[in-house]
A and B are shown apart, each in its own frame.
Chain A
Amino acid sequence: MSDAAPDMQDLYRELVIDHSRNPRHFGRLEDATHTADGINPLCGDKLRLYFRVDASGTIESSSFEGSGCAISIASASLLTEAVTGLEVDDAKSCSATISTRLTTAAPYANLDAHLENLKALDGVRAYPSRVKCATLAWHALQAALTNDTQPATTE
């Protein structure tokens, strides 16, 4: 199976396994000002994202809860690290950047330092059936910050 191994590790990179095993900011966030659900009906993945945005429009804190595969949990965990401290508009554009990065064949663009860890998700590009696992949290982020009442879905 040796020829299969390197590819697998490109999808399940150490950082992805680490975040899926030990998700950061996991749990409900009291005093959240923005929240949204992300649901993949076909997989059964369910995430709820929480954000507390201060008066100046900065995301003070983020968290998430839910269940899903290693890719969807790691992506949500990495998301909470990446967007905490960002302005709402910057977080939204970050969501667009990541979604594009995961779903197009374009060469990888450079990422700002605070998004550097998200490169760990780059491996999913080669797995069309798993891209939606990685983008679920980012769709939910968009929904939360635009106060959509419908759960986000990648179907």
Chain B
Amino acid sequence: MGATAKTVTATDWRADFPALDQSVHGQPLVYLDSAASAQQPAAVIDAVASYQREDHANVHRGVHTLSHRATEAYEGARDKVRDFINAKSRSEIVLTSGTTESINLVAQSFCRPRLQPGDKILITHLEHHANIVPWQLVCEQTGAELVVAPINERGEVELDSLLGLIDDRVFLIGMAHISNALGTVCPVEKVIEHARQRGIPVLIDGAQGVPHLDVDVQALDCDFYAFSGHKMFGPTGTGVLYGREAILDAMPPWQGGGDMILEVSFDKTIYNELPYKFEAGTPNISGVVGLGAAVDYLQSIGMQTIARYEQKLHDHMVARLSNVDGMRLIGQARRKASVQSFLLDDIHSHDLGTILDHQGVAIRTGHHCAMPVMQYFGVSGTCRASLAFYNTHDDIDRLVAALDKARELFA
């Protein structure tokens, strides 16, 4: 960013991502699968490489120089994440392997010791399997019940129905910030407000929220917020569990091992303080360094700039797709971000995925780890185009042209 005012465009951002600069089947790549995993900017790739080349050692252990550098880099990334989501304290940032581990941690460490038979975990019909199955497991273990708030034909969570399901037996509410399959932006603010009034903790699955919205966990006032590094342009195998400090403090450790202890004897082990209590074993240090670089990169653009740009591109994509003959849009929520699921004529999503790939257009096909959503819409799977700020109007034109080609082939 120079001192002179310069309009930065998506084309400039795109140039920051080396993987986007390639041809697939002889066509320039159009990557519309960022909801599955986003590409990484050179800044992230270089940060990881430079850490591996120059600074690697184990963290929190040695007195030697490399161990100190590794610890600084790792803990520095935690501070960046804290700032990124505006958590009150770095103690509230637990580094995990991803959203999935973050949610399992809450299910097993927070819920399992406290749940009584007949208690309820309340989720919604549009959740990713990662925000369904951990609750099913803990329900089986404790005799608690999983309750599911309905969605409507637009793919929106029915707020009144959800609030109507809240009673004294609801122990925790878990819901997505943005649906990975449908793009629905869920009314998390209202749910959290009601839940707070009744003293019910709320976990937000922010895997799709953090890459697209300016997330402020203090403003949201949620108790837990879970997300993944690789969906926000960082490395795979990294993730975050934000938890309110008082709640995390009261939770027992999730896994035992090195790093999560202060003192171990065969009589008694004293656990480490937050957040280390939840980080047993040597962590994914280089990945977390990359996550920190991803935060720096996103902040250099600004999440509000990203959200504004993406919203326009999303609306353009939806408008263009709506005009394709034989198009069935799945997920037409009034508040929606970055994702459009669809089916074209009676072409199976995998056939369409292969045909588009042949034209250099990468989309996701299948059930998107959200089988209950597919069941609701009576389909076995959908095609899903998902955007990031490195996508452009050209990408949408290529998608639409590729769909026209598919219709010709199957005509």
Contact = CB atoms under 8 A, between A and B. Distances in A.
B348 A3 contact: no
Given A3-B26, A69-B348, A69-B350, A44 B367 contact: yes
Given A4-B360, A127-B354, 6 more contacts: A1-B401, A7-B358, A9-B409, A12-B355, A69-B350, A70-B351
B275 interface: no
15 contacts: A1-B401, A1-B405, A3-B25, A4-B27, A12-B355, A12-B409, A12-B410, A43-B366, A44-B366, A44-B380, A68-B348, A70-B347, A70-B351, A127-B354, A129-B354
B409 A43 contact: no
B359 interface: yes
A127 B354 CA distance: 9
A4 B25 CA distance: 7
B359 A133 contact: no
B381 interface: yes
Contact of A133 (B350, B374, B410): B350
Interface string A108-142: 00000000000000000001011001000000000
A43 B405 contact: no
Contacts of B381: 43-44
A80 to B, nearest CB: 19
A130 B350 contact: yes
Interface string A55-97: 0000000000001111100000000000000000000000000
A91 B354 CA distance: 30
Contacts of B358: 4, 7-8
B174 to A, nearest CB: 25
A70 B380 CA distance: 14
Contacts of B410: 12, 17, 70
A66 to B, nearest CB: 10
A7 B405 CA distance: 13
Interface in A1-33: 1, 3-4, 7-9, 11-12, 17
Contacts of B350: 43, 69, 71, 130, 133
A129 B360 CA distance: 16
Given A1-B359, A7-B358, A44-B380, A71 B26 contact: no
Nearest to B349: A69
Interface of B: 25-27, 347-351, 354-355, 358-360, 366-367, 374, 380-381, 401-402, 405, 409-410
A105 interface: no
A102 B27 CA distance: 27
A42 interface: yes
Contacts of A8: 355, 358, 409
Contacts of A17: 409-410
Contact of B26 (A4, A9, A68, A69): A4
Contacts of A42: 366
Contact of A1 (B27, B347, B349, B351): B27
Contacts of B27: 1, 4
A12 B355 CA distance: 9
A146 B360 CA distance: 43
Contacts of A71: 350-351
A130 B354 contact: yes
Contacts of A3: 25-26
Contact of B380 (A9, A12, A67): A67
B359 A70 contact: no
The 8 closest A-B pairs by CB, nearest first: A69-B348, A44-B380, A69-B350, A4-B358, A70-B351, A3-B26, A69-B351, A8-B358
- From B26, B374, B402, name the one whose CB has the most chain A CB atoms within 10 angstroms: B26
Given A11-B354, A12-B409, A69-B351, A4 B380 contact: no
Contacts of B347: 70
A17 B359 CA distance: 19
Contacts of B351: 12, 69-71
A4 B359 contact: yes
B358 to A, nearest CB: 5
Contacts of A44: 366-367, 374, 380-381
A54 B380 CA distance: 36
Nearest to B24: A4
Contacts of A12: 351, 355, 409-410
A69 B359 CA distance: 19
Contacts of B349: 69
A77 to B, nearest CB: 14
A88 to B, nearest CB: 31
- From A1, A17, A133, name the one whose CB has the most chain B CB atoms within 10 angstroms: A1
- From B348, B349, B359, B374, name the one whose CB has the most chain A CB atoms within 10 angstroms: B348
Nearest to A70: B351
B283 to A, nearest CB: 30
B183 to A, nearest CB: 21
B21 to A, nearest CB: 19
A7 B25 contact: yes
